[in-house]
Amino acid sequence: MLIRLWQGLEGFEGRSSAKTWVYRVALNTCVTLDKRNRRRPDCMPLEMDIDLFAAEEACPAASRLHKRIAKLHPFDRALILLWLEDLPYDEIAAILGITVDNVSVRLVRIREKLKSFTD
């Protein structure tokens, strides 16, 4: 990520906040890597030695939410995670490159989809 940010620093025009720009670079990098990994199924996935969701055992609702979010499409997953971070709609729209109204509509649909998933 740091390399991508460093490489793109010259292209940062300042039309959005630096925070929004960093989010956008991170999101684009993740989407690009995901697409690349799907084209090469022979790649070994990165294994982590730590369990980031160890606290989920104490809260089954959080565990269900994480499982349901994992079922979403990458774009919807990014949108709901940005919303869960309490970012305002206009900032989410700037990061994802969509309108504020589209953020609102998509969030309603995503929340309905999350409710309809069965575990």
The tokens of 87 are what? 């970012």
Residue 19 maps to a domain: yes
| pLDDT score of 106 | 95
Residue 35 maps to a domain: yes
Task: Tell me which amino acid residue 35 is.
Answer: K
Residue 31 maps to a domain: yes
Beta carbons of 44 and 61 less than 8 angstroms apart: no
| pLDDT score of 26 | 87
Residue 55 maps to a domain: no
Any idea what the CATH number is for the domain that residue 68 is in?
A: 1.10.10
Angle, helix 74-84 to helix 89-96, in steps of 10 degrees: 150
pLDDT of 2-53, one tens digit each? 788 888 888 888 888 888 888 888 888 888 887 777 776 554 454 444 454 5
Averaged pLDDT for residues 98-119 = 90
The secondary structure of residue 41, as a DSSP letter, is: T
**Domain count of the chain?**
1
Domain that holds residue 98: 2-41+61-116
pLDDT of 57-107, one tens digit each? 566 777 788 888 989 999 999 999 999 888 899 999 988 889 999 999 999
| pLDDT score of 77 | 92
Residue 51 maps to a domain: no
Residue 22 maps to a domain: yes
Q: Which residues lie below 8 Å from residue 13, measured CB to CB, with a gap of 6+? A: none
Residue 6 maps to a domain: yes
Beta carbons of 80 and 49 less than 8 angstroms apart: no
Q: How confident is the model at residue 55 (pLDDT cuts 50, 70, 90)?
A: low
| pLDDT score of 99 | 92
Task: Tell me which amino acid residue 32 is.
Answer: T
CA 83/CA 103 separation, integer angstroms: 9
Residue 110 maps to a domain: yes
| pLDDT score of 57 | 58
